[in-house]
Amino acid sequence: MFLVDCGRVNSTVVPLVSQSMKVRIETDDWTPDGLKILSPENLASIRETLQNEGPIIVEHWFYYGSRAPDRFIFDDFDDFVEYVQTKSRVGDAFHVWNFASVCKDGNEIATGKFPDDDGCVPRKGAY
Of residues 41, 45, 49, 93, the one with CA closest to residue 71 = 93
What is the residue-averaged pLDDT of the chain?
A: 87
Contact 21, 91 (CB under 8 A): no
Higher pLDDT among residues 79 and 66, named by residue: 79
Lowest-pLDDT range of 5-14, 15-24, 114-123: 5-14
Mean pLDDT of 102-121: 95
pLDDT at residue 21, rounded to an integer:
52
Phi, psi (degrees; rounded to nearest 5) at 63: -60, 115
Higher pLDDT among residues 83 and 23, named by residue: 83
Contact 90, 18 (CB under 8 A): yes
Q: How far apart are CA 38 and CA 75, in angstroms?
A: 17
pTM metric for this prediction: 0.76
pLDDT at residue 126, rounded to an integer:
86
Higher pLDDT among residues 18 and 111, named by residue: 111
